[in-house]
């Protein structure tokens, strides 16, 4: 039995072994709350792509919103549209009105600004009041944009994660944040003969409309996945919606847990998901079903 942890963005420069230990420690805390322990024969795999993703973003010189405006190069309207739509969904989810966004907009007053870089920056500034803050959200939308829209980047990152699935034995897979998108793409590429007993996503942005449009169509549960469980804290700015029939219609229906109380400062951290007893119990049951 193999347990695969797929991390999110902003992990560059970190030690893979230490990160794996932190994930495992969080899961052990969750299991302890549920009166359980992790079976000793579990083989944990932590495919680390943090440095590679950072290197590729630097190679393609994809800037942050503030850098775009500082350089005066606002020609890439497709990127502005993609990132603006994600940010606007985040703003609406946080109860931020168009009028509030307008107060941060440098242009002439208007009912709803065009998806240009100035309007994107205005939304970003309005989102600075959220636990993640504008700088982290800026980096998140940039990294997701690069991964989803650049085929070379996507192939390189997916290839790193796909190496975790070479064994012919059962797997339980946990994908966090951007890692839930990477996990979805990689698992979708696997043969139906693979035994993915559980795909567990936490803090997942998969249901954001702009992100869904970049996924292979139609949306579908990967053939290799036997069960899919999604957990979120409704205060998590990245995990805007549950992966339910309204937001991510696949068959069979994904089990959603929207009651997680993520104790991390930004409500998005992996520790606040893995040490949730219901999340840990779900992982334990999948392992025991092998």
Model confidence pLDDT, tens digit, residues 8-56: 999 999 999 999 999 999 999 999 999 999 998 999 999 999 999 999 9
pLDDT at position 95: 95
Give the pLDDT score at 61. 77
Per cent of the chain over pLDDT 70 is 94
Q: Is the pTM of this model over 0.85?
A: yes
Q: Alpha helices of 189-236 — where are they, by DSSP H?
A: 209-212
pLDDT of 74 higher than 60? no
Q: Is the pLDDT score of 75 beyond 60?
A: no
Overall average pLDDT of the 191-216 stretch = 96
What pLDDT sits at residue 170?
A: 97
CB 243 within 8 A of CB 217: no
What integer pLDDT is reported at residue 77 of this predicted model?
75
Indicate if the pLDDT at residue 67 is higher than 80. Answer: no
* Position 142 pLDDT exceeds 80: yes
- Per-residue pLDDT tens for 78-114? 888 899 999 999 999 999 999 999 999 877 666 666 6
Nearest to 241 by CA among 282, 283, 184, 203: 203
Cα–Cα–Cα angle for 67, 68, 72, rounded to 5 degrees: 115
pLDDT at 55: 95
Give mean pLDDT, residues 262-286: 98
Burial class from Cβ neighbours inside 10 Å (0-12, 13-18, 19+) for residue 213 reads exposed
Span 158-174, pLDDT tens digits: 999 999 999 899 999 99
Specify the pLDDT at position 278. 98
pLDDT, averaged across the chain:
93
Contact indicator for 16, 185 with CB cutoff of 8 Å: no
Q: Which pLDDT belongs to residue 78?
A: 86
Both tokens of 121, joined, read 């920056």
146 band by pLDDT with thresholds 50, 70 and 90 = very high
**Among candidate residues 7, 4, 20, the one with its CA nearest the CA of residue 194:** 4
182 with 161: CB under 8 angstroms?
A: yes
Query: Confidence band (pLDDT; 50, 70, 90) for 115?
Result: confident
Q: What is the pLDDT of residue 73?
A: 58
Contacts of 17 (CB under 8 A, 6+ apart): none
d(CA 195, CA 252): 16
Mean pLDDT of 185-200: 96
Task: State pLDDT tens for residues 220-249.
Answer: 999 999 999 999 999 999 999 999 999 999
Q: In the predicted model, is pLDDT for residue 154 greater than 90? A: yes
Residue 211 has pLDDT above 60, yes or no: yes
66 vs 42, residue with greater confidence: 42
The reported pLDDT for the residue numbered 71 is 63
Tokens representing 53 are 């993703």
Neighbours of 189 (CB within 10 A): 14
Residues sharing a CB contact under 8 Å with residue 28, sequence separation 6 or more, in sequence order? 37, 38
Q: Which residues of 122-147 are buried (b: 16+ CB within 10 A; e: fewer)?
A: bbbbbbeebebebebbbbbbbbbbbb
Domain boundaries, the chain: 76-145
Give one DSSP letter per residue of 250-263, joined into a string. -SSPPEEE-B----
């Amino acid at each position: 039995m193999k347990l695969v942890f797929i991390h999110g963005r902003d992990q560059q420069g970190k030690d893979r072994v230490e990160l794996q230990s932190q994930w495992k420690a969080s899961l052990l805390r969750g299991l302890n709350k549920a009166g359980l322990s992790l079976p000793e024969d579990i083989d944990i795999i932590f495919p680390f792509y943090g440095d590679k993703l950072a290197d590729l973003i630097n190679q393609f010189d994809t800037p942050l919103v503030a850098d775009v405006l500082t350089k005066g190069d606002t020609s890439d309207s497709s990127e502005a549209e993609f990132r603006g739509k994600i940010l606007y969904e985040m703003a609406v989810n946080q109860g931020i009105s168009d009028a509030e966004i307008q107060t941060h907009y440098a242009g002439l007053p208007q009912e709803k600004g065009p998806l240009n870089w100035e309007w994107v920056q205005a939304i970003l500034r309005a989102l600075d009041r959220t636990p993640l803050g504008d700088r982290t959200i800026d980096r998140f939308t940039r990294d997701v944009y690069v991964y989803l829209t650049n085929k070379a980047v996507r192939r390189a990152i997916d290839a790193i994660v796909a190496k975790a699935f070479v064994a012919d034995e059962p797997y339980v897979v946990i994908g966090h944040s951007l890692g839930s998108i990477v996990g979805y793409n990689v698992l979708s590429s696997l043969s139906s003969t693979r035994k993915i007993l559980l795909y567990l996503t936490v803090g997942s942005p998969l249901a954001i409309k702009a992100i869904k449009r970049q996924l292979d169509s139609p949306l579908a549960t990967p053939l290799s996945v036997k069960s899919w469980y999604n957990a979120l804290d409704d205060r998590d700015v990245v995990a805007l919606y549950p992966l339910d029939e309204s937001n991510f219609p696949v068959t069979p229906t994904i089990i959603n847990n929207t009651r997680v109380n993520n104790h991390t400062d930004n409500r998005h951290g992996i520790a606040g998901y893995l040490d949730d007893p219901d999340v840990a119990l779900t992982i334990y049951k999948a392992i025991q079903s092998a």
